[in-house]
Amino acid sequence: MVNDGARVRSRSSNRDLRKTLSRSRTNTGIHGKLHAETIVIGGGVIGCAIAYELAARGQDVLLIERGRIAEGASCAAAGMIAADSEHFSSPMMLNLAAMSRRLLHEQSEQLSSLSGMHIGFQQNGFITPIRLKNDLRSDSAVPTPRPRDSEIWWDSITAQQEASWLTKDIYGAYYRPLECDVLPVNLTQAYARSAQALGARIVEGVHHVNLRVDANRVQGVETSIGTMTCQHVIVANGIQGEALMKQAGLQLPILPVKGEIAAVQFPDHSGQLAPDKTIYAEDIYIVPKANGEVWIGATVLPGESDLHVTAAGLQKLLERAVSWVPGIAEAQFVRAWAGVRPSTPDGLPYLGACESISGLYTAFGHHRNGILLSAVTGSLLADFIEGKSSEELNVQGCRPERFNKRGILH
C-alpha cells in the first residue's frame, strides 16, 4: 500500500516527535528537525554501515530502528569474514566479498577510535580440514589437493604441527590465511556510534514505519513518533524488508533461514586443546573469538523464523564440533542462541535504486554474509545516493526489482 495520505501532521504530533527525539538514547542534535537528506530504515549491521559511510561522506543521514541497534540477525551472527571460504555462486559476489574484507580491515581502526569500541577484528585464518575418507574435489580414487590462489594445502603432518588441537583423523587441510572475524554486535554498534560521531542522527524505538510515496517519488516516512521527510529512503531492515517494500507495491521476496549457534569457553590452562584458528568445515564452523569464547555454528533451518534453540540442534552442533576439535568436550558451555538469516530466492541481496519509485533504495537480503558484506554495502549505497548506477557499480545482478509479481526473475 502506498501511504501518502498523512503528508501533513498536526502541530501536536510534531511536538510529540520532537519530545521523543530529544529523549532518544542514541539521538544527537536532532532537536525538532524533521527532515533529512537520507533516511535509513533498520539498525542492523547493514543499516549502520550505510549510515556510517554516508556520514563519512558528509551526507545528512537519519537512521531509524524499530527496537535497539543490533537486535536482529546481526546479534546472532558468528562474525566470520569468510571472503575466500564461502561458496559464492557468482564472480560478482566473490568480488564484493573480497572488497568488503579489505574495506573492513581499513575501517577497523577508525571505527574503534571514533566509537571507543573494540570490534574484535582478528586475522587468524580459516582451516577447512578434509577427513581421511573424503573426496578432495577429485573424481579419482587417489585424492589430489587443489588449493586455489587464496589457500595453502597442509598435509596431515603440517596440519598437526600448525593446529595440534585438530583431530588426527584427517587427510590434510586447506588453510586460508587472509580470512578474519569480528564481534558482530560490537561492529554494528561501532558503525552506529561512529556514524553519530560524524554527524548522523540515530533514533531507536520507532515501532511503526510507513513509506510515503507520491507520484512515484518517495516523500519520507510516516512513523509511530511522527512524520519525517527526505529525498532518499534506504530500506535496510533485513528479514522485514519484504513487508516494507509491499507498502510501495513492490515484490522483493525474503525467505527466513533460522540458525542456531553455541558458545563455549576453555579454562586458562587448556592452551593445547583450544583452537586458535577458525575451523570452516563442510558441516560446521568453530570460531575462536576476540572475547575469549569459541563460537560453534550453525544449523540451517529454511522457513523457520522463531528464536528457540532446540536440544537436537545443540546436540548436532556440539557433536560435530567435538569430532573436529576433541578438546571442546572439556570446554565449559557458555550459552546458545538463534537468529534468522534474511535470504532471497536467488541468494543475492537487494542492492540499489528502485526503478519504479524514485528516491527509494534497498539494502537487504544478505543471507549468511551480512557481516562480511557490510562494509561494501555501505560504500555501494553511498555511491547510489551520490548518483551512480548499478551498471557503473557492476552490481546489476542485485538490482531490487529483479523478480516479477510471481517471484520469477526477469
Ligand X SMILES: Cc1cc2nc3c(=O)[nH]c(=O)nc-3n(C[C@H](O)[C@H](O)[C@H](O)COP(=O)(O)OP(=O)(O)OC[C@H]3O[C@@H](n4cnc5c(N)ncnc54)[C@H](O)[C@@H]3O)c2cc1C
Interface with ligand X (CB under 6 A) = 41-47, 64-67, 71-74, 76-80, 206, 209, 236-240, 244, 259, 261, 297-298, 339-342, 364, 366-372
Bridge-based pairing of strands 226-235 and 301-302 is unpaired
* Nearest by Cα to 33 from 22, 44, 47: 22
User: Which of 387, 392, 410 minimizes the C-alpha distance to 400?
Assistant: 410
What three-state secondary structure class fits 202? strand
CB of 54 vs ligand X, minimal distance in Å: 15
Task: Kindly tell me which of 172 and 228 has the beta carbon lying closer to ligand X.
Answer: 228
Q: Closest separation between CB of residue 363 and ligand X, Å? A: 7
Rounded least distance, CB 344 to ligand X, Å: 11
Q: Which is nearer to ligand X, 299 or 390 (CB)?
A: 299
3-state helix, strand, coil in the chain (%, to 5): 30, 25, 45
Long-range contacts of 269-275 (CB under 8 A, 24+ apart): 270/327, 270/330, 270/331, 272/164, 272/165, 272/327, 273/165, 273/325, 273/326, 273/327, 273/330, 273/331, 274/165, 274/327, 274/331, 275/163, 275/165, 275/166, 275/325, 275/327
Nearer to ligand X, 233 or 340 (CB): 340
In whole angstroms, the minimum distance from the beta carbon of 202 to ligand X comes to 11
Q: Which is nearer to ligand X, 238 or 359 (CB)?
A: 238
Peptide bond preceding 97 in cis form (omega within 30 of 0):
no
Minimum CB distance to ligand X smaller for 78 or for 114? 78
Cβ proximity to ligand X: between 172 and 244 the closer is 244
Name the strand (E) or helix (H) holding 294. strand 293-297
Closest separation in Å from C-beta 379 to ligand X: 15
Provide the minimum distance between the beta carbon of 329 and ligand X in the complex, in angstroms, as a whole number: 22
Nearer to ligand X, 88 or 172 (CB): 88
The residue among 293, 53, 299, 96 whose CA lies nearest residue 183 is 293
Min CB(305)–ligand X separation in Å: 10
Q: What would the grid cell of residue 159 be?
A: 596440519
Q: Return the residue nearest ligand X (CB atom).
A: 44
Longest dimension (CA), the chain: 77
Give the shortest CB-290-to-ligand X separation in angstroms.
14
Q: Taking the CA atoms of 365, 370, 375 and 376 in sequence, report the sign of the dihedral they define.
A: negative
Q: Which is nearer to ligand X, 298 or 354 (CB)?
A: 298
- Nearer residue to ligand X within complex by CB, 101 or 172: 101
Compute the least distance from the CB of residue 185 to ligand X, in Å. Answer: 10
Around Cβ 98, how many Cβ atoms within 10 Å?
17
Helix axes 184-197, 45-56, angle to 10 degrees: 30
Query: Cell triple for residue 229?
Result: 521527510
Query: Pairing state of beta strands 126-131 and 278-280?
Result: parallel
